Structures are given as C-alpha cells and as structure tokens.
Chain A
Amino acid sequence: MANAAGAAPGGHRNGFWGALSLPGVAWLLALFVVPFYAIAAVAFGQVDPILRTAAPVWGPWSWNFSAMSKVISRVFGGDLAGVVVRTLSYVGVSLALCCLIGYPVAYYVARHASRWRGVLLAALVLPFWISYLMRMLAWVNLLQVDGYFNRLLGWLHVGGSRNWLDGNWPTVVIGLVYGYIPFFILPLYAALERLDKRLIEAGRDLGASPRRVFQRVTLPLSVPGLMSASVITVLPMFGDYYTNTFLSSGSPKTEMMGNQIERYLRGTSQPQTGASLVLILSAMLLVLMTYYLVVTVRAQRAVAT
C-alpha cells in the first residue's frame, strides 16, 4: 500500500480511521443515498388511485416503467421537448457569456493585476457571501418599468419604457450569468494562477508574440481549469428554476426543466412524472458530474503523493 505524506501516522490501525469517517458516511447514506433511491422508487412505483399520491415501490424487480417511458416520449418530440431545448440553449448561451466575460477577468487578476490584486480578489469573492436571491432581487428592482435601467435607457434615448420582467429570455440569461459567473471565475482564476510561468517565459524568449504565446501556451494549458469551471457553473444552472421564475414573473415563456420538475412534484400531484424528470435530468448531467468527480479525485491523489 502506497503510504504517502497524508497517510496514517503510526500505521496499521486502519479501523480507527474508518470509524472516524463513519458518522459522515452514515449520514450521507441515510440522507443522500436513500433519498436518491426514493426518487427511483417513486418514478418506477405506483400512484394511489384515489389520493393521487405516490406509492413508491422499493424492489427493482417489481418496478413499473410505464410512467417513465411516457415522460421520455414527451421529452423527445412531445410537449416537453420545447422546455428541454430551451434549458439547453439558455445554459449554452449563459456558459458562452461566462467564458467571454469570465476568462479575461480571471486571466487579468491571475497574471497581471499586481498592485490591485488583493482588492480584485476580494471583489471576486464578495458575491459568494451575498445571498443569491438578494442578487436577483437587486435586478428585479433595477428592471422595474420605472426602474433605473429603463431610466438609463431613456436618458440615452434608446427606449426606456419596456417591461423586462414579463418572460423576456435575455433577462433570464443575463440573470443566470450574473448569478453563476462567480462560480466560474474563481476556479478558473485558481487554475490560471497555478500555470507554470516558466513555460510562458520560454515562449516569449523563443520569439513568440504575446498573442501567440497566449494562443499556443496559455490557452491550451488552461483547458482543464476551463473545463472544471464550466462544469461547476453549468450543473446548478441546469437545475435552476427560481432565477427564471423570479426574473420573468413566472411566465411560461421562459420555463426551464427545473420549473416542470417543481410543478409536477409540488403543484399538481403527479409525483411520478416529476420524479421521472429528475432522473432524466440526472442522466443528462451524469457525464458532467463524473468528469468533475474524476478530476477532483485525481487532484486529491496528486496532493497526497
């Protein structure tokens, strides 16, 4: 067994360390694994014919896949297809904007901001400590019909009486970017900060222009950081339902998958449909989740050895 720097002092009493992790492991089994299984038990279970409540079936041998197959056919080509496509495009556009805004910011703070670095870093971290919904509330205030944004437009003579909050997709996308971009910038900053500066200097010394060094050295080297930053931003966006409800007064024009899930589970009592949608969403995101997990475990191992 490769006992590296992080390994147990004094060796073989492996059981002791196992026992230390036990409370946490037990907690996550009871309140993470079992609940997740409950989603499947509801999705593949029965519905009480009178009360219309879920009657979960716990044994996979008697699961009933009819509700799921109905939802799947609605997602692919049925009435839910529009919502899925909309979710994918909102997340796609938001991610593109995160890259466009976030990369220059992370790059500048990591590599060029010498004197102001402390201030800039604090400013990048600050949104983490401001409640997400307060940040959205701020936009709701600004985007009122008589709000500051319209007044600014009026002052610039480019409109100024529009209602931005009635199911307007750019509002929702900008809201998503505003909400999640701190999660994008910080990991990317950490990755750019760690880049080996000698490689960049070597590129310059060998005669490449700064732009070429960026294209041929910095950018390729930052791809892993860019990937994890994207994954960590996109995962919560896919499950988001409150940003668009909040910024579009609950208009169905900007609904995402999360809204459907929430409605089926809590509004109308169709728990099977809701649970099936959650499973479909999780399946869609599984690749991204696995990618992040693998990268994290590798990083842990790199630290430990």
Chain B
Amino acid sequence: MRRNRPGRHPFGLATITWLYILWSLVPVLVAMRISFNSGKSRSAFQSLSWRWYFTDPAKSVLHDDTLVQPLKNSLKLAALSMLITTPIGVTMAIGLQRWRGRLSKASNALMLFPLVTPEIVMGVALFLVFTQVYTGVPRGFTTQLLGHITFSISYVVIIVRGRLAAIGPQYEEAARDLGANRLQAMRLVLLPLLGPAIFASVMVVFAGSIDDFVISSFLSTGASSETVPMKIYAGGRATATPALNALATIMLVFTLVAVGLAALVMRRMRARQGGGEDAQLGSLAAVG
C-alpha cells in the first residue's frame, strides 16, 4: 500500500487542507455567533442573548413578519418540491436506465442539460415564459415551485440512476421468475433497493430548494413570495440587524437536522441491505 509507506507524511499538504477547512467554516461560525449578539451590531460581538431570535418584541425573527414570511415560504417551497420532484425523478430514472432507442438518448441529453445551464439562464428563461407564454399560472409562489421542480428533477435522476446501475437487473429478474408481474417486481423489489438513493435525492432536492436564490428571485412578485436567501440578499447590504443572521442560522439548523436524520436513516437502510457504500458521496460529487 502506497498510502502506508513509512516515513513521509506530507505535512505541507496537510497544513493547506486544514487551513482551507478553517477558512471555509470559521466565517459561517462567526456569522452564527453574531446572531446571538445582544447589541445591534453585525460586526462586533457584545454579549450572548436570544434577543434576535425571540425576546426582542419587534425585531426578533419570531416577532418580525418580514422575517417569518420568507422562512415559511422557503420551507413550503422545499417541502412541496421534494414531494413533487421525487416521484417524477425516480420514474424518469428507471425509465431512462432501461429505455432504448434514439428518443431515449435525446431524453437523456434533455435531462442532463439543466445540470449545466447557469442559473441565470434558467431564471431568465422561466421569467420570460411565465410572463409571455404561461400567463395563466399565478405568478409568485406557484411559478417559484414549478421552477424549483424543474432544476431539481435532474439531480434525482442522476442519483437514482447511479444506484440502479449498481443494483443491476438480477433481483427483479428473480422476482419475475418467481411469478411477480412487472409492477409488483418494481414495487416489492426495486423500490426498496432504491430506498437509500431516493432518500439521498430527497435531501439534495430539499437543500437545493432551500439554497436557491436566482430562480426564486426571478419568479418572485414581491414580499409575499420572498424566500430566505432573497431576504438575506436584500437585507445583507442594507442596515439590517443580527436578526438576519438569526434567520440564516435557523435555516442552517433546519437543513443540518434534516441532513443528519437522513444520514441516520440511510445508514440503517444500508446496514439492512449492504452494498452501495460510496454511492451517495459519488452521486453528490456528480451533482456538484
């Protein structure tokens, strides 16, 4: 094993790596700490308090409607995106993995395109289509939801397809040999095997939706359809209070709890099933 060859540990590389990790995480930790500031400043920390979360009667996240509304909007968007995108993406993944022919190749390319399209291009495209063509769709939340689903489908397909390729057809063939019809084989054999991948993709859709700024912003109609990233964008430059940091921190905690739970469930599922260890990380890298 090259890695265990005795003697030389690359200390230079190790230093760069740890410095990078500090650099990537410390600013966020500082921003989180500022959310607990008792004073108004977003740059200097005075003392610890929950002021910007609950206790300030007007300006805390809990009492300021202009902060609560984006939080609700973001969570609603993310939840509905998950619910709608996952079935569309999973069926599309199974279909594309097995469908043969020219149309299938074209569909596959179509599915990959949103992954490489810069957000601003997709944002402009959706903005124009909803103002010029699909004018019957109520602008704001509905169009934002449609937009989020559009950029999320491909993530689900990529992740689930990776897992499908690893599973191979033999389990389903066995089920068919034992008398199951195609749908039964899919429902009873394939879907449970896909469980961890579906779970992973649900989380990626959730995080993608929560994180999205460009699409939400292009399809927004004002305060009623403002999301958390939009609020941060609008408030970060102006003279905002640490309540903005508190809002961002709440969002981050939501995401990390969701991801943590998902990781636990996935570990359980995988322990029961075995196999596919690196699939999740691989798929994340593919998506990234």
- Which residues does A use to contact B, with CB under 8 Å? 1, 3, 5-10, 13-14, 16-25, 27-29, 31-36, 38-39, 41-42, 54, 56, 101, 104-105, 107-109, 111-114, 120-121, 123-142, 144-148, 178, 181-183, 186-187, 189-190, 197, 200-201, 204, 210, 231-232, 235-236, 238-242, 245-246, 249-250, 258, 261-262, 265-266, 271, 274-275, 278, 281-282, 285, 288-289, 292-293, 296-297, 300, 303-304
Contacts and interface: CB of A to CB of B under 8 A. Distances in A.
A265 B214 CA distance: 13
B13 A107 contact: yes
Contact of B17 (A120, A137, A239): A120
Contact of B13 (A10, A108, A242, A245): A108
A141 B43 contact: yes
25 contacts: A14-B101, A17-B100, A19-B95, A23-B92, A25-B92, A25-B111, A32-B113, A32-B122, A34-B133, A38-B129, A39-B128, A104-B17, A123-B25, A124-B21, A131-B210, A137-B236, A138-B30, A142-B30, A182-B24, A201-B2, A238-B118, A240-B120, A275-B124, A292-B115, A304-B97
A239 B119 contact: yes
A137 B244 contact: yes
Interface in B161-218: 161-162, 164-165, 168-169, 172-173, 176, 182, 185, 207, 210-211, 213-214, 218
A72 to B, nearest CB: 18
A296 B112 contact: yes
Given A34-B133, A123-B21, A274-B124, A128 B169 contact: no
The size bracket of the interface on B is 35 or more
Contacts of B94: 17, 20
A44 B285 CA distance: 38
B131 to A, nearest CB: 8
B169 A131 contact: no
Contacts of A121: 281
B233 A297 contact: no
Interface in B1-54: 1-5, 8-10, 12-14, 16-17, 20-21, 23-25, 27-28, 30-31, 34, 41-44
B153 A271 contact: no
A111 B3 contact: yes
Contacts of A113: 14, 17
B77 interface: no
B159 interface: no
Given A28-B110, A35-B128, A293-B112, A9 B169 contact: yes
B117 interface: yes
A261 B124 contact: yes
Given A135-B27, A297-B112, A104 B13 contact: yes
Interface string B85-113: 00011011011111111011001111111
Contacts of A34: 129, 133
B232 interface: yes
B127 interface: yes
Contacts of A183: 288
A281 B97 CA distance: 32
Contacts of B228: 131
B255 to A, nearest CB: 5
B231 to A, nearest CB: 9
B224 to A, nearest CB: 17
B91 A21 contact: yes
A288 B146 CA distance: 27
The SS class assigned to the B binding surface is: helix
Nearest to B92: A24
A28 to B, nearest CB: 5
Contact of B132 (A1, A38, A182): A38
A6 B43 contact: no
A149 to B, nearest CB: 9
A217 to B, nearest CB: 11
A162 B108 CA distance: 51
Contacts of B21: 120, 123-124
B273 interface: no
Nearest to A110: B3
B20 A187 contact: no
B16 A108 contact: yes
B95 A18 contact: yes
A39 B169 contact: no
A282 B125 CA distance: 12
B65 to A, nearest CB: 20
Given A9-B169, A18-B99, A134 B110 contact: no
B98 A8 contact: yes
A274 B121 CA distance: 11
A221 B214 CA distance: 36
A19, A141, A210, most chain B CB atoms within 10 A: A141
A28 B111 contact: yes
Contacts of A128: 207, 284, 288
A66 B232 CA distance: 39
Contacts of B117: 235, 289
Contacts of A35: 122, 125-126, 128-129
B125 A39 contact: yes
Nearest to B5: A204
Given A108-B14, A238-B118, A138 B128 contact: no
